[in-house]
Structure 1
């Protein structure tokens, strides 16, 4: 998969995730391609969000398609998640 295809796959899947899990309490980041707000709960409006999930493109796509489970990605550091609402395991795979 070339970079253009990778970017499209990440953007499409992250946006689909945000539609599946709407809200504004968690910021899901897959740099440099996309960041969205998702998960129902208290809305964040200023500064650094209290609930952040960040990962790379390959890890996100593996989580989205089910070839990687959330717990393993957290355990080996491929996903960085902070805040009480940042556990996305209940919503994955897509």
Structure 2
């Protein structure tokens, strides 16, 4: 199922710029929750739009979970292909500051299922 509202690329870029100092330096104070939530939600929904489908679920608790990538549809229970990470790691991936494989090796990303790694093909979404 496609998201109900298309993400405006300018809005996505602005939300990522708002948190970029924290992404570059974790000692910088964490952005306000609303700014962080906007960056995470807009970027995840952009992934959902650019890689439509429902074979992989991407979770960034507590803000969002989206399904993406064409393939077998999941409808009930725990999905067989899941990518989960914290908001900072997600935004590092989205902006190209971290590679997917490196984040998995470093335990910043949990990727389960044979198709979960396909998310890497769609990242980064925006370099800021």
Q: For the pair shown, which has the larger CA radius of gyration, 1 or 2?
A: 2
Gaps of 5+ in 1: none
- Residue number among 39, 45, 51 corresponding to 2:81 in the alignment: 51
1-side partners of 2:56 and 2:90: how far apart?
Answer: 15
Deviation at 1:71, TM superposition (A): 1.0
2-side partners of 1:72 and 1:13: how far apart?
Answer: 20
Please name the residue that 1:14 is paired with. Answer: 44
2-side partners of 1:48 and 1:29: how far apart?
Answer: 12
Gaps of 5+ in 2: 1-30
After TM superposition, the runs of 4+ consecutive aligned structure 1 residues lying more than 2 A away are none
Please name the residue that 1:90 is paired with. Answer: 121
SS at structure 2 position matched to 1:37: strand
- Residue number among 82, 95, 99 corresponding to 1:69 in the alignment: 99
1:29 corresponds to 2:63: no
- Name the Cα RMSD after superposition: 0.6
Please name the residue that 1:2 is paired with. Answer: 32
TM, length-normalised to structure 2: 0.72
